[in-house]
Amino acid sequence: MTDADSRGLFVVGTGTGVGKTVVTAGLTGWLRARGRDAVAVKPCQTGYPPDDDAAFVADACGTDAAATCLRRLEPALAPEVAADVADADLSYDEIRSGVRAAVAAHDVGVVEGIGGLRVPLADGEEVLDLVADLGLPALVVARSGLGTLNHTGLTVDALRANGVPVHGIVLNEYQGATVAERTNPDVLEGMTDAPVWTLPPLDLAAPSEAVSGVREHLPPTALSAVGEF
């Protein structure tokens, strides 16, 4: 199976803490509720413990089968830097082949990035290189307020310059409280020619709220990249 033949989506962010894990959990749980054998794949988790994105997805979906993490490193740094600080081996080829195998072993793979696209991953390669090598369409998760136009536009440009199709953009924690928030969706659609969807703040005291919230607020076309409508 080639990457192009795989059913999957790469959830990328404009930076750290923008909501990639919430969107990943929501999409994975939504797909599983529709009967798809979907798995969330975290190529590398840094800041572990306490950070564990795959564990959050598994909790949100109610089963450990919903998520896997290939590597975990303690320093809360970019993976390549964290591996250097921890004196740990981290191979880009192993990460890439591991993600490919995880996606190929399931009906659908939802791969979650690490920080933004230019984050150093391993062996001089960045998260952007992994996205491009896997050949999966990307869903961009960004903040909703002032400053997101530049960060999101540059992220979309970088993906397309590397041959990655952009499936859509999710503006996370959208409340429409400022003029910037209210105008950003339409402006971004004009800038990027990509669909822009908004996701309000969710009460994540119960991780399952990520699944119900994403399913409630994103349109079914958000799943069209993996054959669901």
SS3 call for 65: helix
Only one residue has tokens 């540059």, namely 154
* Catalytic (active-site) positions: 42
Q: Give phi and psi for 47, each to the nearest 5.
A: 70, 25
Distance CA 5, CA 126 (A): 23
- Residue 11 is predicted with a pLDDT of 98
**Domains of the chain, CATH where assigned:** 3-223 (3.40.50.300)
pLDDT at 3: 47
C-alpha 84/C-alpha 77 separation (Å) is 10
pLDDT at position 228 is 81
C-alpha 48/C-alpha 91 separation (Å) is: 18
The pLDDT score that the predictor gives to residue 46 is 98
User: Can you give the pTM of this predicted structure?
Assistant: 0.96
Kind of pairing, strands 125-126 and 120-122? antiparallel
Characterize 99-115 residue by residue with b for buried, 16 or more Cβ atoms within 10 angstroms of its Cβ, and e for exposed: bbebbeebbbbbbbbbb
64 is in an annotated binding site: no
- Annotated ligand binding at 99? The verdict is no
- pLDDT for the residue 227: 87
Question: Are 41 and 70 contacting, i.e. CB atoms less than 8 angstroms apart?
Answer: yes
- Residue 172: CA count within 13 A, CB half-sphere: 24
Sequential pLDDT tens for the chain (229 residues): 344 446 899 999 999 999 999 999 999 999 999 999 999 999 999 999 999 999 999 999 999 999 999 999 999 999 999 999 999 999 999 999 999 999 999 999 999 999 999 999 999 999 999 999 999 999 999 999 999 999 999 999 999 999 999 999 999 999 999 999 999 999 999 999 999 999 999 999 999 999 999 999 999 999 999 988 6
Is 148 labelled a binding residue? Answer: no
- Continuous segment of H or E residues that includes residue 125: strand 125-126
